Chains A and B, each alone.
Chain A
Amino acid sequence: AQTVTQSQPEMSVQEAETVTLSCTYDTSENNYYLFWYKQPPSRQMILVIRQEAYKQQNATENRFSVNFQKAAKSFSLKISDSQLGDTAMYFCAFMKSSNQGGKLIFGQGTELSVKP
């Protein structure tokens, strides 16, 4: 069975600074996808970034980038130039690659506070 672990329950960062959220996972699969979702106080789950395991290049989306280390089973999220609107719960998620759909397996989340 796959598991996802986020070891930082809470983090804070000053506005405009950079913060890195950690995520590790355990799987015996070779083909899979990894995601970061954010859930602000509105509770709407929003996709931040995704990574295909077969791609060596780390995914980036504007101020958000990942450090994907497949051998170490690590998938951290870096937020640059943090903004107040980045305050949210961040979830790391794993999905096995399949042509039969799939389920997301989530970590427990990291609550990020961006301070002015």
Chain B
Amino acid sequence: KAGVTQTPRYLIKTRGQQVTLSCSPISGHRSVSWYQQTPGQGLQFLFEYFSETQRNKGNFPGRFSGRQFSNSRSEMNVSTLELGDSALYLCASSSVFGGVDTQYFGPGTRLTVL
């Protein structure tokens, strides 16, 4: 099976702009989660989508939003970008294997905000 794919791999934006990141899960996986990775804060959970519904949400401002489509592909959007939004954004898809909900990650999108 193909792994989790994320597009684009790199993005450069300026403050105040908005950005949309895309994630295609492993075939058959219905859950998609998003994480932000920064040197200062480490890996932080943004949100999780399952069957087109947000099922879990982390502690991020409303500028961060997401959605999931009927084919399980997911997008996340960040509006009014701030310098602190510069980060590696990781998407993970998951399925329950042997009773364990295991998340498999994509290669990430590196976002730089200037």
Chain A residues near B (Cβ < 8 Å): 33, 35, 37, 42-47, 50, 52, 91, 95, 98, 100-109
Are B58's CB and A103's CB within 8 A?
A: yes
Are B56's CB and A43's CB within 8 A?
A: no
25 CB < 8 A contacts A-B: A33-B100, A33-B101, A42-B107, A43-B88, A43-B107, A43-B108, A45-B105, A47-B104, A52-B100, A98-B101, A100-B55, A101-B31, A101-B50, A101-B55, A101-B56, A102-B48, A103-B33, A103-B45, A103-B58, A104-B33, A104-B35, A104-B45, A106-B42, A106-B43, A107-B42
A109 to B55, CA, bound (A): 27
**Total number of B residues with any Cβ neighbor in A under 8 Å:** 26
Q: Which of B31, B56, B102 contacts A50 (CB 8 A)?
A: B102
Shortest CB–CB separation between residue B7 and chain A, in angstroms?
Answer: 15
Q: Which of A33, A47, A98, A108 contacts B42 (CB 8 A)?
A: A108
The residues of A that contact B48 with a CB separation of less than 8 Å are 101-103
CB-CB under 8 A for A44 and B107, given A52-B100, A101-B50, A101-B101 = yes
B99 within 8 Å of A (CB atoms): yes
B 69-106 to A, binary, CB cutoff 8 A, 1 in contact else 0 = 00000000000000000001010101000011111111
CB-CB under 8 A for A52 and B99, given A101-B48, A103-B58 = yes
Are B103's CB and A104's CB within 8 A?
A: yes
Tell me what chain B mostly uses at the interface: helix, strand, loop, or mixed: strand
Q: Which 9 A-B pairs have the closest CB atoms?
A: A45-B105, A103-B45, A106-B43, A101-B55, A44-B107, A101-B48, A108-B42, A43-B108, A33-B100
Chain B residue with Cβ nearest A93: B43
Shortest CB–CB separation between residue B96 and chain A, in angstroms?
Answer: 9
Shortest CB–CB separation between residue A45 and chain B, in angstroms?
Answer: 4
Shortest CB–CB separation between residue B104 and chain A, in angstroms?
Answer: 7
CB-CB under 8 A for A45 and B45, given A52-B99, A104-B103 = no
